[in-house]
């Protein structure tokens, strides 16, 4: 069974009378321990795809399964639970808290490691964060 499986995913944004199709019937399967890079030109739908895959947005049509569970029709509360237990994000920029020193940010991350189900079982050292 695939860890992530997208079948025939579309995402359409309605802008007045104009329908903008950001994702057009995307199918993708990612297995455990597999590394994947999403590349493409500006405006090609990479960010939209990542938002759907990260459960930050839902597809207009198609199905999306994470570890066998269909998340494509879940409400925002259920998606938040999936993000909390199954998904981690790595941002392109350093998102340090405003006015917080490096040690304060490190302390917050360390506390998150103890309280976030996805991370709580990991035995990470500060230099690994």
Give tens-digit pLDDT for 9-44. 999 998 889 999 999 999 999 998 898 888 888 889
Instruction: List the 61-66 sheet strands across, edge first.
Output: 18-30, 4-15, 61-66, 69-70
For position 10, which CATH number holds? 3.40.50.300
119 shares a domain with 66:
no
**Domains of the chain: total:** 2
**Which range of residues forms the domain containing residue 20?**
4-86
Check residue 48 and give its pLDDT.
92
80 shares a domain with 39:
yes
pTM above 0.85, yes or no: no
101 shares a domain with 77:
no
17 shares a domain with 61:
yes
Give tens-digit pLDDT for 56-86. 889 999 999 999 999 988 998 999 888 888 8
The residue ranking higher by pLDDT, 111 or 119, is 111
């Amino acid at each position: 069974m695939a860890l992530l499986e997208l079948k025939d995913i579309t995402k359409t944004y309605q802008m007045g009378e104009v329908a903008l199709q950001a994702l057009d019937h995307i199918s993708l399967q990612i297995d455990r321990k597999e590394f994947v890079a999403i590349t493409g030109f500006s405006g090609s739908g990479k960010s939209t795809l990542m938002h759907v895959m990260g459960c930050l947005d839902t597809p207009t049509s198609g199905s999306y399964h994470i570890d066998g569970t269909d998340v494509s029709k879940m409400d925002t509360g259920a998606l938040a639970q999936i993000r909390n237990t199954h998904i981690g994000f790595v941002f392109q920029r350093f998102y340090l808290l405003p006015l917080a020193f490096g040690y304060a940010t490190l302390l917050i991350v360390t506390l998150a490691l103890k309280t976030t189900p996805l991370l709580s079982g990991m035995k990470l050292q500060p230099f690994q964060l």
